[in-house]
Amino acid sequence: MATTTFTGPVVSNNGFTGDVTVTDFVKLTAIATASLPAAAAANAGQVRLINDNGAGDDEYCLVISTGSAWVTAVGAALS
C-alpha cells in the first residue's frame, strides 16, 4: 500500500481502508451526549468527544461505539 501525505482537511465520504497513522494532534469537535447517533453496526469503532460526560456535567469524555452501545474510553457504560 502506498503512503500519501496530506495537508489541509481530509474528507472521506466512505471511510478509510487500512490503518491510519497520525503523527500530529487530532482535533475532535465536542458534542452533547444527546447528539450522538444511535450505536449501530455501521458506526462500531467510531470515537466521539462529548462535552457533558453523559450525565449533563460540563466535562469532556471520549466515547467509542461498540456497535450496540456507546462506552467511555475506559469501557464504562455511558449513562
Question: Domain for residue 61, yes or no?
Answer: yes
pTM check: above 0.85? no
| Tens-place pLDDT, residues 19-78 | 777 888 888 899 998 999 999 999 999 999 999 876 667 788 899 999 999 998 876 776
pLDDT at res. 40? 94
Residue 1 has pLDDT above 60, yes or no: no
Give the length of the chain. Answer: 79
User: Rounded to 10 degrees, what is the CA torsion of 9, 12, 77, 25?
Assistant: -30
67 inside domain: yes
Q: What residues make up the domain containing 74?
A: 45-79
- Evaluate whether residue 14 is within a structural domain: no
Distance CA 68, CA 58 (A): 25
Evaluate whether 49 touches 62 at the Cβ level (below 8 Å): yes
Q: Whole-angstrom Cα distance, residue 10 to residue 76?
A: 31
pLDDT of residue 35: 93
When divided into structural domains, the chain yields a total of 1
Q: Is there a domain that residue 71 lies in?
A: yes
Q: Is residue 74 part of a domain?
A: yes
pLDDT for the residue numbered 56: 65
Q: Does 22 reside within a domain?
A: no
**Which residue's C-alpha cell is 444511535?**
38
Q: Which residue has the higher pLDDT, 2 or 62?
A: 62
